[in-house]
Each structure stands twice: as C-alpha cells, then as structure tokens.
Amino acid sequence: MNVAIVTEGDQVSQHFGRSEGFLLAGIENGQVTSRESVVAGGHDCGALPLMFREREVNLVIAGGLGMGAMQHLQHAGIAVIAGIQGSAEDALTQFLAGNLQGGEATCSGHGEGHEHGHGEDGPCCH
C-alpha cells in the first residue's frame, strides 16, 4: 500500500491545492517499508492526483480540500482521509496504529483567507 500525506513543511497541509508536496510512504504488514518526500508544483486540482496515480498511491491523508480535488481523487480511485491536522509523521503513526480519524475538511466556498482564483478545474480545490 502507498500512502501520500499532503504536506506544508513537516505539517499536514490544510490547503490541498497549495501544498508544498507530500510524504509518500510504502506500507507492508503494518510497517513503513519506504519513505520519500516529493515536491508538488503549482495550484492545480488535478496535478497532485496525477502524481499520486503515477506513484500508485492508494490513500491520501490531507487537511482541507475542496470538491474539485475530491472528485479528481475519487476519479483516480484513491481513498482520502481528510480533516487531519498536525505533523505528517504523527498522522502516519496514527494511521499505522488504526487511530487516524478524519474530520470536516471540505471547502464549500470562499471567504476570509480565500483570496485566490481558480482555473478551469472549477471552484475551491484546496
């Protein structure tokens, strides 16, 4: 299984489409067998799901993401645990222990702190 944790520094990114990259962890028999930090480029709802598909990611762990990003991930057959906060390493540890529970993470519109435009991918792809 390959798990991607969307990151901003060493923290789980709260803005999917603006994340710096992701931590890619290969997991077998409940243990991390490989680990790679991958740099993401640009604000595009489809860019990360494409990278995930290329790396055979099965699960994405993220903070906030919008419907555009969720649709891209679902279309790629990738499961999502969203609404996660804190360090990427803690999220990975909690996932391995079976204790990672998602929360509210869907962006439904623009308000404070959402002063950015979107391309042809549609509204709010955080």
For the domain made up of 2-25+45-101, give the CATH fold.
Answer: Nucleotidyltransferase; domain 5 (3.30.420)
Looking at residue 17, what is its pLDDT? 80
At residue 68, the pLDDT reads 83
Residue 81 pLDDT: 94
pLDDT category at 98 given cuts 50, 70, 90 is very high
Query: Which uninterrupted H or E stretch holds 80?
Result: strand 79-81
Task: Tell me how far apart the alpha carbons of residues 88 and 23 are, in angstroms, rounded to a whole number.
Answer: 7
Cα separation of 2 and 33, whole Å? 10
Q: What is the pLDDT of residue 50?
A: 81
% pLDDT > 70, the chain: 78
User: Is the confidence at residue 61, as pLDDT, over 80?
Assistant: yes
